[in-house]
Amino acid sequence: MTKSVNYSRRRLLKNTAVASALVAGSSSVLGETNPQLQTRSGGVSGTRRNGLNIFKGIPYAASTQGRRFLPPLKEEAWHGLRDAAEYAKSAPQRSDESYSEDCLYLNCWTPGLSDGGKRPILFYIHGGGYATGSGSDPLYDGSSLCHQGDVVVVTVNHRLNAFGYLYLADLAGDEYAHSGNVGQLDLIAALRWVQEHAEALGGDRHNVTVFGQSGGGAKIATLMAMPMAKELFHRAWTMSGQQVTAAGPRSATQRAQRFLDALKPNGSLAQQLEAVASAPVEQLLEATKVEDFSRVEDKSLHFCPVMDSGVLPRHPFWPDAPVQSAHIPMVIGNTKDETRAFLGKPENFALTWADLPAKIRKQQFVDISPERVVEHYRKLYPNYSPSDIFFASTTAGRSWRGAVEELQVRAEQGSNTWAYQLDWGSPLDGGKYGAFHTLDIPLVFNNIHQPGSRTGGGEQALQVADTMSRTLLAFAHSGSPNAENLPKWEPYTLAERKTMVFDVPSQQHKDPRGAERKFYAKVPFMQRGTY
């Protein structure tokens, strides 16, 4: 029987108040002492706030400085107590993040320490594609989930862009055989650390749920096909993040050579390899700006996992779902208006019928006649404006398509996969961005009052956050997203394609946007970076 989790509105409002206090920068509750955790390499001292033990910046592997593009090593031991009150620096990236090559750290929130609590562990992998991001975003604060569901929450940093996914095996030899996937190996090292410290964190090492949005979901899909990740997690929840196919070694080597040529254009291969091993971080990040062969608006090099016949021996979800993770319950979700997040420029809200085909051709990422797309959508949705069709078709043709592919092969494999679609849209900016990419993050974390949330703080936002966070917690506790006081959420099947549509109210639908799905199924789907 499915174990359900029930949380009242009174508790939701209490949790929201707690989150608001944390945002305001409240200090530790009077009388609460700083908690201590003994890790395999030394002790750490965290903070205690509102009944939770919080540890930030715990090393789970050694610094990568001086060991670029190689698998992670165990962190060095230290003497005494290490301060774990502040986040560590992020992985090197082209953003405003403060970064360092000493970046392999994780953060933990837990209600208890070594108390035999056997709590589910929620391990969050951040988005940002494979290029940017960190586990220290305020939206990923685990406090609300811990209070609401009696769970342990972990967030993590790992190597990104060229530092995590530069495939050098065919250029530099066996020493770099795993270089195209060291960012994934970092995540595996972090999951192993969690396994080793689960009991000390008050958690259950046999009940780890990995969840992630966008690039985080794609990394999870990839982990499900990596033999080294087997048995390290037991449930998977992905949000607008899929990895159907990985990069092939030929295309990955071509990208690597473009990167080396940008870094040291007049050098021999040996000189280029020496440069990539020793050049300042900033030079390597600058070299990632070279144009990729992918036909996309952002033309910088696209680094992603590589099917290297070693640590990633197959494509994650092609031609079928990986057998090694068939037993793992999985939720695959998306937002209805994904591309309004990154294509929502002012000019795209004022498109004309004459503008539309060229815009679609550039942004839908599949090779189908844009004139046919416009014709199809005008029949489906007669009241849609050119801009409405642009956002709907680009969402269906690129962002949603990978989710459909994964759902289909998982449904062929078993009955332990659930689909969701977020239809509820942000009321901010007059509601014009709808249910955009990333909107589900503060809802699932129940962090709508944290900095960066675009949900607003209204009654509907509270309701959707309560619903989505409760389904995640039910899934973490039982392996099923069904929770009390919610409509029944049935597994995804090819016959009915039942999908939970999160809205006010939330309810299950059969094959939402089915006509769009069938239209785009006429053309093959290939993940960016594969060729």
For position 297, what pLDDT does the model report?
64
Give yes or no for a cis peptide into 319 (omega within 30° of 0). yes
Per-chain mean pLDDT for the chain: 92
| 214 tagged catalytic | yes
Beta bridge mates, 99: 90
d(CA 209, CA 192): 13
For position 3, what pLDDT does the model report?
37
Q: Could you read off the pLDDT of 11-31 as tens digits, one per residue?
A: 344 344 333 333 333 333 344
Question: H or E stretch including 11?
Answer: helix 9-23
For position 26, what pLDDT does the model report?
31
Task: Give Cα separations from 340 to 133, 217, 238, 251, 433 (angstroms).
Answer: 20, 19, 20, 30, 6
Stretch among 49-53, 421-425, 478-482, 525-529 having the lowest mean pLDDT: 525-529
User: Do the bridges between strand 498-502 and strand 507-510 make them parallel or antiparallel, or are there none, so unpaired?
Assistant: antiparallel
Domains assigned to the chain: 33-323 (3.40.50.1820), 339-520 (3.40.50.1820)
DSSP per-residue codes, 85-150: SSPPPBPS-SSSS-B-S---EEEEEES-SSS---EEEEEEE--STTTS--TT-GGG--HHHHHHH-
Q: What is the mean pLDDT of residues 127-139?
A: 96
d(CA 391, CA 212): 23
For position 295, what pLDDT does the model report?
61
**29 backbone dihedrals φ, ψ, rounded to 5°:** -60, 140
Provide the percentage of residues in the chain whose pLDDT is more than 90.
Answer: 87
Q: Which of 1-5, 9-13, 37-41 holds the top average pLDDT?
A: 37-41
* Residues ≥6 apart with Cβ < 8 Å to 382: none
Q: Could you read off the pLDDT of 310-364 as tens digits, one per residue?
A: 999 999 999 999 999 999 999 999 999 999 999 999 999 999 999 999 999 989 8
Give the active site residue among 90, 143, 214, 426. 214
